[in-house]
Structure 1
Amino acid sequence: MGVSATSPGQVGRRIAYHRSVARPKMTQQQLADRAGVALGTIRKIERGERGVTDSTLDAIACALGVDSSRLVADREHVSTRIRDTLPALSAAIATYDMPEDGPVRPLPDLRAAVAQATAWRLSAQYLQIARALPDLLTELTRAAAAASPATAEVMAGLLVTAYRAADAVAYKYQARDLSARLIELMRWAGSGAHDPLLAATVGYVRTEVFFAARAHTAGLRALEQAIDACPPPVGAEAAAVRGALHMRAAVIAGRAARGEAAEVHLAEARGLGDQVSEGVYQGTAFGPDSVRIHEVSVAVSLGNEHVQRAFHVAREWKPSADLPAERRSGFYIELARAQLWGGLADDAFESLKVARRIAPQHTREHPWVREDAATLRRLKRAEAESLTSFAEWCHAD
C-alpha cells in the first residue's frame, strides 16, 4: 500500500488525540500492541517524524475503533480507496454458487469475522468493510458449499449478514446495481437459513432498492408483505424485528405521501419499541430511541408542513452516544433538512457538522448532505469560509 498524501504531522496529531480520548485511555504501547505495529513506529508517527502507509493507518484506526477518515485530512483519499475496492467486491459475489477451493477458518472464527463486519457497518466504518469483505465473502461461500447438514443453516445466516455489510458500502457509495445484486443474494442465502426473523430482516434491507428507484408505493407494499409474513411479536427479538419493519414502512409511506399509513406504522413501531430495550436485533438498531429518530424521518418525508414535529422531537431529546453512529448521524442529517425547510439555515449547518463528527463517511456520501450544503452555500447564511470548506468536503454543487 502507498503512503497517504496527508502530511505526517496531521496524521500523528490525530492519532495521538484519538488515543488520548479512548475509553479507557490508551497508551502508545497498548496502541502498538493492538495495531500490530512497533512501539517505535507509533512514537515516530505521533511526532510527525515518519509517514503512514495505508495498511498501517487502517491497523491503527481499527485498534482505536474509529474510521480511518478521522485520522486524515485528505478524506477524498479514503473515499477513493473505498470505491477502488468495489470491483473486488463484485468479483467476490460473481462466484457465489461455484466458489474456488481455498482455506476456511473454523466456524467460531467465521462468526467473529461476520460480527466484526456488522460492528463496522453500524459504526459507519465503510473502509474497514470494503477491505475485508471480498475475502470474507469468498471464504464464507466456500464454507457454505462444504457445510454439513448440521451447520448449513448457520452458514446461510452468516452469508446473509455478510452480504448486508457489503451492501452498506455499495449502497452508500452509489453502486446501485451492485447493491441490488447483494440484496438478491441476501434473499437467496436467506432461503437456506429457514429463519423467519432473518427473512424479515432481508425484507427490511430490500427497501433500499425502492428508495433508490423512488418507487415508494411499491416499497411500502413490499414492506407490508414482509410485516404480514413476520412472526408474531413474542419476545424481544421478534418484537424488535417487526418494529423495525414498521419504522421503515412509516418512512417510505411518508415518501409516498401516504400520511395516514405513515402514522399507523409509526404508532405500531412506537408500541413495539416500548416493549424492548434499545439495542441491535438481527443486525438492526431498534427501541424507543430508534423510533424517535424515525419520527423525525417521517416528518421530513411528509414534507415542509410537518417540520415542527421534527423540531419538537429535537427540543426534547437527542440521540445518546450508545446508539450506532450511522443511526445518530442520520438523525442530524434529517434534522438539518427540517431546519433548512423551516428557515433555520444556521441551525441546519450546525446539525450537518454534528453528523460529520459522528460518522464522517456516512455524512460525506449522503446525497441530502450535498444538496443541503449546496443550498446553504447559496443562501450564504453561515460563516463563508467554514461553509465553503464543508461544501467542498462533501462535493456539494
Structure 2
Amino acid sequence: MAAFTRDGVGKRVAYYRSVVRPKMTQRQLADAACGALGTIRKIESGERGVTDATLEAIAHALGVDPTRLRADRGPALRAVHDALPALSAAIATYDVPDDGPTRSLISLRTAVDEAVTWRLGAQYTRIVRTLPDLITELARAYHQASAQERSELAGLLASSYRSADAVAYKSGARDLSARLVELMRWAAPESGDPLLAASVAYVRTETFFAARAHAPGLRALEHALDSAPSPNEQCQIATRGALHMRAAVIAGRARDAAAAATHLAEARTFADQVAEGVYYGTAFGPDSVRIHEVSVAVSLADGHVGRALNIANEWKPPLDMSAERRSGFYIELARAQLWSGLADAAFESLKAARRIAPQHTREHPWVREDAATLRRLKRADSEELTNFAEWCAAT
C-alpha cells in the first residue's frame, strides 16, 4: 500500500530532513535510505507517491518512526505484529526445513551480522521482514552441511534466533520469545562455543523478567557465571562482565540490594579491562555498566532512585552506543524522574528515547505506563503530551 504525497508525506520528509536533522542534505538522505537523489527530490516536492517500503527506509535514515511521516498514524508497529506469524512458522520447521537453495557460508554470515546491527539499532521492521526467510535458509544449510561447517551454522542460527527474539520480546509476543530462547539453547551447544552458551544465558533472562521470576533468574545467571570460561581474553572478559551486569539488574528486580551491588562491582571490574563494544552480540564496557547502574537503581526503587538521577546529571550515553541501549537509558531515567516528582524532566527523557529508537520506545510497557501517568499529573492540556501518549497507545 502506498502513502501518497497529497497527504503531506513529502512535506514531513522535508521537515525532518531539514529541521530535525539540519545537516542532512537530500543526497545524504538518498544514500542513507539506499535510494536515488531524484526520488527524494520528487517525494519532497510532491511529484510522486511513496511505497511503504520506501517510506520505512527514509524513516530509518532520518531516525524517526515511519508513522511520523504518514498521514494515517496507525497502530504501533503494525507491520511488525503482522509479520510475527511468519516468524513463528519459520522456527516451527527448524529440524525439518523446506527444500531450497542456500547461499554460501560467507553470505549467510554477512546476512546474520546485518540482522545483529538492526537489532542493536532497534530496527525491528527490517528484522521481521528478513528473518523468517533467513532462519529457514540457515536451518536448511545446517542440515545439509558437513560436520565441519555445522558448528558455525549452529552459531549463526543462535544469533539469528536472538535477533528474532528481540522483535518478539519487545512486541509482547512472550510465548514466541520463549520458543526462540529455547532454540538458542539448542543451537549454542551445537556450535561448540562456550562463550555463545554464556551469551544465550544472558538472553534467557528475558523469560524470568516476563514471568517476574527474579530470584530463579538470578540463580540461572549465577550458574551461567560458574560455567563460563575463565576471563583471560577480551571476549571472555566481556562475556563474563555482561553476565554480572545482567545479574545486577535482575537482583535489583528481586529487591536484593546486596547481590545487585556485588554483581555491579564485578561488572565494573571487568568493564575496566575492555573497550566499550559489542561482544557476542551484547554491548559491554564502562558505558554499558553505567546504564545498568541506572537500571539497578530504578529496579531497587525507594531510596536508590537518587543514584539514577545523580548518574544522569554527570553523564549521558555517547552517541556511538547502540540505539536500543541509549533509548533504554532514557526510559529508565524517565521513570526515576517521574518517581522523584520531576514530571517535565521525565517527559523530556521519554522524548529523547523516542528520537533515538522510536520502535523500541513505542513498544516499551514502561513508556506507556509513564506517559499515562504524566497525562494525569496536571498536564492533560498539553497537546504535545497527548500526541505522545496516543503515539505509544498509553491509556
Post-superposition shift, 1:339?
Answer: 0.7
Deviations 1:118-162 (A, max 9, x none): 000001001000111111111111111111122111101100000
Secondary structure (helix, strand or coil) at the match of 1:245 reads helix
Q: Map 1:291-302 onto structure 2 (within 5 A).
A: 291-302=289-300
Matched with 1:360 is 358
2:69 maps to 1:109? no
Matched with 1:290 is 288
Is the Cα–Cα contact under 8 Å of residues 220 and 249 in structure 1 kept in the other structure?
yes
- The change in CA–CA distance for 1:308 and 1:256 in structure 2 (over 3 A counts) is same
Q: Structure 1 unaligned segments of length 5 or more: list them.
A: none
**Structure of higher RCO (CA pairs closer than 8 Å, 6+ residues apart):** 2
| Number of residue equivalences | 395
Is the Cα–Cα contact under 8 Å of residues 5 and 48 in structure 2 kept in the other structure?
no
Q: Map 1:97-176 onto structure 2 (within 5 A).
A: 97-176=95-174
- The change in CA–CA distance for 1:272 and 1:390 in structure 2 (over 3 A counts) is same
2:321 maps to 1:323? yes
Is the Cα–Cα contact under 8 Å of residues 76 and 393 in structure 2 kept in the other structure?
no
| Distance in 2 (alpha carbons) for counterparts of 1:272 and 1:23 | 39
| Distance in 2 (alpha carbons) for counterparts of 1:190 and 1:275 | 26
| Distance in 1 (alpha carbons) for counterparts of 2:312 and 2:371 | 20
The normalised TM-score by structure 2 is 0.93
Matched with 1:179 is 177
Post-superposition shift, 1:103?
Answer: 1.2
Matched with 1:395 is 393
Matched with 2:330 is 332
Secondary structure (helix, strand or coil) at the match of 2:86 reads helix
| Distance in 1 (alpha carbons) for counterparts of 2:193 and 2:17 | 40
2:2 maps to 1:3? yes
Q: Map 1:232-271 onto structure 2 (within 5 A).
A: 232-271=230-269
| Distance in 2 (alpha carbons) for counterparts of 1:177 and 1:313 | 35
- The change in CA–CA distance for 1:118 and 1:220 in structure 2 (over 3 A counts) is same
Query: Which residue identity does 1:357 align to in structure 2?
Result: R
Post-superposition shift, 1:45?
Answer: 0.9
| Distance in 2 (alpha carbons) for counterparts of 1:74 and 1:287 | 41
Query: Which residue identity does 2:226 align to in structure 1?
Result: D
| Distance in 2 (alpha carbons) for counterparts of 1:228 and 1:217 | 17
Matched with 1:83 is 81
| Distance in 2 (alpha carbons) for counterparts of 1:78 and 1:150 | 44
Is the Cα–Cα contact under 8 Å of residues 300 and 306 in structure 1 kept in the other structure?
yes
Query: Which residue identity does 1:239 align to in structure 2?
Result: I
| Distance in 1 (alpha carbons) for counterparts of 2:314 and 2:228 | 33
Deviations 1:248-298 (A, max 9, x none): 100100110111000000000011011110011101100000000000000
Post-superposition shift, 1:312?
Answer: 1.0
Secondary structure (helix, strand or coil) at the match of 2:192 reads coil
- The change in CA–CA distance for 1:35 and 1:290 in structure 2 (over 3 A counts) is closer
Is the Cα–Cα contact under 8 Å of residues 164 and 186 in structure 1 kept in the other structure?
yes
Matched with 1:14 is 13
* More off after superposition, 329-338 vs 386-395: 386-395
